Amino acid sequence: MSGLLLPAERERILAKAAHFSPPDYILPDGRRDLVGLSREELTAEMEQIGEKPFRAKQLWHWIYHQGVRDFAAMSSIARPLQEKLAETFVIGRPEVASDQLSKDGTRKFLFKFRDHEAVETVYIPDRQEDRGAVCLSSQVGCTLSCRFCHTGTQRLARNLSAAEIVGQFMAARDAYGEWPSPKGDTPRLLSTIVLMGMGEPLYNYDNVAKAMKIIMDGEGIALSRRRITLSTSGVVPMMDRAGEELGINLAVSLHAVRDDLRDELVPLNRKYPIKDLIEACRRYPGASNARRITFEYIMLRGINDSEAEAHELVRLISGLPAKVNLIPFNPWPGSAYQPSTPEALKKFAAIVMKAGYASPIRTPRGRDILAACGQLKSAVEKGEAA
Ligand code: SAH
Ligand code: SF4
């Protein structure tokens, strides 16, 4: 895609996203949720109730650094103001509609929001270390019907708000008691974020960006941008913007090396074909050997897993600071594909590795609770079990 077309196309994507906007959260009793507001918005809320801007700074610390949900626990704020805040505001969280633990330690939450829409959020513990990644959803459902993806079979209900995206992470931390203790212990377990849950994050860019800025803010949760990875199916016009504004790591769901096949597997390819996608990766700011772009490649038996395709993959990404994640296909009820054989996987990985790219075969986690990549699907549709 020509660079000149990008801004116009970007506007179109952002305008379309507005159609699927989340509801504005004011509780039935009129109180407003403080979670998900930018610092500027929080300061404006304080001004509106006649309070000085430094109150916003105090609240920010309690809400995002300490994880406090009750104004009465905010010891640096005097009782009368605590009461006034509690009359006007809440510090919200999504409701835990279900919470399942896999044999391998993976944990899947179904979080429900005030309008009863729900998404899944998965905690994936690291095998070696005492820490792990939280996989966040960005939309309820997805507009892009990738053929292999369970989420893609669910029509898009709506975008998530910044509050709902940040709220998934905060609620997961609540579940692990992962907020700094008064003794000053810092949280360890939930130390990485991957935007790889339900939805296409770059089709909900404004809310995702706002949420990530809140999470990266140094006086709150303070997660480094190096610990956040956004996965996209290839929304080319928004990739540059995400790189410039957020500087987080990029993962690209490639899955095929020829346009005819990618058109079928990832229908968005008809709009932004492989060549444009790879060009956008080459432009991605901050991509370097220390910060490599991840290419995700689902291994589908007899579809995209030949040795010739492995060679073509290497040719496509040559010169890019990249690694390749080979994802064994995770079947779900009614899916049309089979996972590649272990031999095909090994051969494919060896070719990519020999060309100098790390190519880990990502073992599926949480399969027993349908929590693995691409298996997420909320139970919002009628007749589905959770
Ligand atoms: N919409 C974004 C992010 C969410 S999908 C994207 O497509 O990148 C996160 C990852 O799960 C993607 O790489 C996606 O291709 C992969 N995935 C989807 N369905 C899968 C399945 N059934 N088995 C394995 N991985 C799958
Ligand atoms: Fe949407 Fe990603 Fe699933 Fe494709 S793979 S349908 S873009 S969530």
Q: How confident is the model at residue 263 (pLDDT cuts 50, 70, 90)?
A: very high
d(CA 172, CA 257): 37
- 342-384 pLDDT tens trace: 999 999 999 999 999 988 887 777 777 776 655 666 554 433 4
Best of 135, 143, 146 for a ligand 2 pocket test (most atoms within 8 Å of beta carbon): 146
Q: How confident is the model at residue 385 (pLDDT cuts 50, 70, 90)?
A: very low
Is residue 315 assigned to a domain? yes
- 6-45 pLDDT tens trace: 888 999 999 888 888 888 888 999 999 999 999 999 999 9
CB atoms inside a 10 Å sphere around CB 234: 26
Place of tokens 């430094």: 54
- 68-83 pLDDT tens trace: 999 999 999 999 999 9
- 373 catalytically annotated: yes
How many alpha carbons lie under 13 Å from residue 328 in its C-beta half-sphere? 16
Ligand 2 midpoint to CA 76 (Å): 45
Is residue 7 assigned to a domain? no
d(CA 39, CA 308): 51
Query: What domain range includes position 66?
Result: 36-90
Q: What share of the chain has pLDDT > 70, as a percent?
A: 92
Is residue 251 assigned to a domain? yes
Last residue of a domain, one of 57, 90, 123: 90
The amino acid at 79: R
Candidate list 45, 120, 296, 309, residue with the active-site label? 120
Is residue 1 assigned to a domain? no
Which phi and psi angles does 248 have, rounded to 5°? -85, 170
In a shared domain, residues 53 and 164: no
In a shared domain, residues 133 and 233: yes
In a shared domain, residues 133 and 212: yes
Best of 119, 208, 231 for a ligand 1 pocket test (most atoms within 8 Å of beta carbon): 231
Angle at 159 (CA atoms; ends 20, 260), nearest 5 degrees: 90
User: In this predicted structure, what is the pLDDT of residue 380?
Assistant: 45
In a shared domain, residues 71 and 184: no
Place of tokens 């060679």: 311
In a shared domain, residues 82 and 108: no
In a shared domain, residues 197 and 99: yes
Report the pocket of ligand 2 as residue ranges, CB < 6 Å: 142, 144-146, 149, 151-152, 199-200, 233, 253
In a shared domain, residues 255 and 146: yes
Ligand nearest to the CA of 201: 1
Q: What's 144's domain CATH number?
A: 3.20.20.70
In a shared domain, residues 71 and 131: no
**How many domains is the chain built from?**
2
User: In this predicted structure, what is the pLDDT of residue 25?
Assistant: 81
Is residue 20 assigned to a domain? no
- 130-147 pLDDT tens trace: 788 999 999 998 989 899
In a shared domain, residues 243 and 295: yes
In a shared domain, residues 42 and 129: no
In a shared domain, residues 50 and 122: no
Is residue 31 assigned to a domain? no
In a shared domain, residues 85 and 133: no
